[in-house]
Amino acid sequence: MGGRIPTRGSRRGQRARGQRARGQRAGGGGQRARGAEGPGAEVAGPAPRGTGAGRARRSRGGGTQEGLGGGELGVEEPATAAVARAMSARNLGTELDLSWISKIQVNQPAVLRRAEQIQARRMVKKEWQAAWLLKAVTFIDLTTLSGDDTSSNVQRLCYKAKYPIREDLLKALNVHDKGLTTAAVCVYPARVCDAVKALKAAGSTIPVASVATGFPAGQTHLKTRLEEIRLAVEDGATEIDVVINRTLVLTGQWEALYDEIRQFRKACGEAHLKTILATGELGSLTNVYKASMIAMMAGSDFIKTSTGKETVNATFPVAIVMLRAIRDFFWKTGNKIGFKPAGGIRSAKDSLAWLSLIKEELGDEWLTPELFRIGASTLLSDIERQIYHHVTGRYAAYHDLPMS
């Protein structure tokens, strides 16, 4: 007799499912429909104009298997090759535009709602999770910034950067020939020579990043900070993570901040400039947005959340504000600026949430090592443990992953 006769209960269920589907299409998960596009809701200010043709694309399904890109267990090209190919493009900076900066106000409740959305998402599982964890490895700036760092510690770090996942695990996933490495290694200026020497001995072209400018406080004389950059570059660092003087932000000295970062950029020469905002010490989300914009105007190739030494480090509300600043700067100038969260990102689950955030806010174009990095020292260990579990069906004992 054909199909089922719909009862009132089944019709009610169909209507509810239809409403949920319409809500998901319209809002991508709830709060999206209330103005998460552009600077209107979370960041209120003048709508940037100019490069409308290149607006960042955003995914609607960041928390699903399809939304995060499917289940192909592969890496398109070695991370270091991608970085070498694409990071040649530099941000030349722009003139300081205080008229734009002065009008900005951040809608904190809207930012917090958006952050809750991201954190509440159900993450991918099984082969999709393994694929995205391998991708996350290629974004890591593998870091050691301890007072007891030695040449042997740095050598061990560099070896792990070149061989981040055990080869038998990669063979089980059929990606052993993809040249999987971390994006860079990050050390103190005094350890740059050790890192360059270790990577050269290993036959690796992984970039060496160095913190500088009185890391982590940034409270030394400007002349000293500039000399620290020059020495790190002379020793072989190709990326410099500078830290700003937070006093200039807290007292509203935007011109002075702009001038300092311009001098940092000049001291870097051909090395790429990553500017650490130390957002946990900036006082407000509005200050985070303004500092982000000033850093990009001054020529930063990346903006970075934290030193990892503050009480509050990389958080989703702060990241959303910084990503909206990056997007606004892109719309206004056509320049793509990289983003690097750092501090407190320790678990594989954390890394998936950050990848989902980047995909939704800036699009797939930013999911490359030349535009997205994760500063971490212990994250890689947990990712390798999760890969081990995916391949073997059990969690690794301490001796199973001796280099973690």
Render pLDDT for 296-338 as a digit per residue (tens, 0 to 9): 999 999 999 999 998 899 999 999 999 999 999 999 999 999 9
Say which residues have a Cβ less than 8 Å from residue 209's Cβ, sequence separation at least 6: 141, 184, 185, 186, 187, 237, 238, 239, 240, 241, 274
Nearest Cα residue to 195 out of 158, 141, 229? 158
Contact status, residue 137 vs residue 183, Cβ threshold 8 Å = no
Confidence at 361, pLDDT banded by 50, 70, 90? very high
pLDDT of residue 42: 64
pLDDT exceeds cutoff 70 at 79:
no
Q: Tens digit of pLDDT for each residue in 154-194? A: 999 999 999 999 999 999 999 999 999 999 999 999 999 99
> Is 141 strand, coil or helix?
strand
Q: Tens digit of pLDDT for each residue in 184-195? A: 999 999 999 999
Give 306-368 as a 3 state SS string: CCCCCCCCCCHHHHHHHHHHHHHHHHHHCCCCEEECECCCCCHHHHHHHHHHHHHHCCHHHCC
> Of 84-88, 98-102, 180-184, where does the model show the most confidence?
180-184
Here the tokens at position 243 are: 């830290």
Helix (H) or strand (E) segment spanning residue 240 = strand 239-243
Confidence at 272, pLDDT banded by 50, 70, 90? very high
pLDDT exceeds cutoff 70 at 14:
no
Say which residues have a Cβ less than 8 Å from residue 95's Cβ, sequence separation at least 6: 297
β-bridge pairing 140-143 and 105-106: unpaired
Whether 304 is catalytic is yes
CA distance 248 to 255: 9
pLDDT of residue 102: 87
For CA atoms 292, 297, 303, 306, the dihedral sign is negative
pLDDT exceeds cutoff 50 at 203:
yes
Q: What is the mean pLDDT of the chain?
A: 83
Catalytic residue among 194, 340, 350, 382: 340
What mean pLDDT comes out for the span 18-26? 44
Catalytic residue among 141, 194, 235, 241: 241
Q: Give, in order, the Cα–Cα distances in Å from 245 to each of 23, 91, 189, 221.
A: 44, 21, 19, 10
Catalytic residue among 160, 178, 290, 304: 304
Whether 241 is catalytic is yes
What mean pLDDT comes out for the span 276-290? 96
Share of the chain above pLDDT 90, in %: 70
For the ranges 65-74, 143-152, 160-169, the lowest mean pLDDT is seen at 65-74
Whether 290 is catalytic is no
β-bridge pairing 43-44 and 105-106: antiparallel
pLDDT exceeds cutoff 80 at 11:
no
pLDDT of residue 43: 64
pLDDT of residue 37: 38
What mean pLDDT comes out for the span 56-65? 38
Contact status, residue 145 vs residue 154, Cβ threshold 8 Å = no
